[in-house]
Amino acid sequence: MGTNDTTRLLTPGVEIPYLGFGTYLVPNDEAAAVVRAAIAIGYRHIDTAEFYGNEEGVGTGIRQALADTGLSRNDIFVTTKLWPGNAAWGQTPKTTETTIASLNESLARLGLEHVDLYLIHAPFEREQRLAQWRGLVELQRQGKARAIGVSNFHVAHIEELVAAGLPLPAANQIELHPWSQKPALVRYLAEKGITPIAYSSLVPLSTWRTAEGHDSAKTAEMRASGERADSPFKAMAAKYGVSEPQVLLRWGIQSGYPVLPKSTKPERMRQNADVFSFRIDDDDMAAIAKMDRGDGVAWAVGDPTKAA
């Protein structure tokens, strides 16, 4: 890809921006202001989820931003996710019918007639995965979701869809960063024409989540590792005249992954958005390729990508 390529073809007729804005851990009562600011800065992909509990605020922020900027709904790519329900957590797994109802409820909270991408958030229940995916296929047929996909799915989960004769997902949103590169899964997605969307891109930084006051699973464990004081990304950032987060986000984009940085601080939001003005050279990309540590860190209990 070129330095200034800003979108990737997701499915025929649907382009996904490489630069997205994540809203995980943004409270509903703060989401409108944060999303409004993100769109004003230049973000054109807003990512939320039923599980985040902030769809109402996100939708309000989108509408406010459209009024502020004169942009149209078609200028903003919106992703939300089905929470599938996990019986192991005392939840009722979604059926095809309740999956359809869930997106209709999400659309009502967002104040939108459709989303651009609807994902199954995680592959918790083997018995229900196919039923939920059939629900997404129907929602796409109805025009409620322009594209459909999954999140945290591994090869075996996607092969279940293939074996059932169902359409492949257009995307798989997974944790991807230099410490968790998932080469086998990424190769499989490329072979199937499935777009990897990267979340938790900034995990290798000491400020990941804690700088925003949004601590979460495994953050304390990562801080205690003490491995970031001499981060190799500091040298790369100095070399390119950018910040460490910009290097990590640019690595994702240059690898072909739309990214979803999240910040509630305007200056950091602006900095994170500046990822198309430089390119990581081949030597540094090769060095980063050797940094893979295997598993990710986002799921403290029961990584769903390892589910049978």
Cβ atoms of residues 37 and 266 within 8 Å: yes
Q: Could you tell me where the beta strands, DSSP code E, fall in 23-170?
A: 45-47, 77-82, 115-120, 145-151
Q: 258 — alpha (psi -120 to 50), left (phi > 0) or beta?
A: beta
CA-to-CA dists, residue 48 to 12, 66, 78, 182, angstroms: 23, 18, 8, 23
> DSSP string spanning 164-224?
TTPPPPSEEEEE-BTTB--HHHHHHHHHHTPEEEEE-TTTTSTTTTGGGT---TTHHHHHH
Alpha carbon distance 258, 16 (integer Å): 8
79: which strand partners? 47, 117
> What is the C-alpha R_g of the chain?
18
Q: Which residues are catalytic?
A: 52
154 marked ligand binding residue: no
CA 10 to chain centre: 14
Alpha carbon distance 52, 215 (integer Å): 15
* Amino acid, res. 175: E
**124 SS3 class:** coil
User: If you search the block for the tokens 């059939």, which residue do you land on?
Assistant: 134
* Amino acid, res. 173: Q
Residues annotated within the binding site for substrate are 121
Residues annotated within the binding site are 121
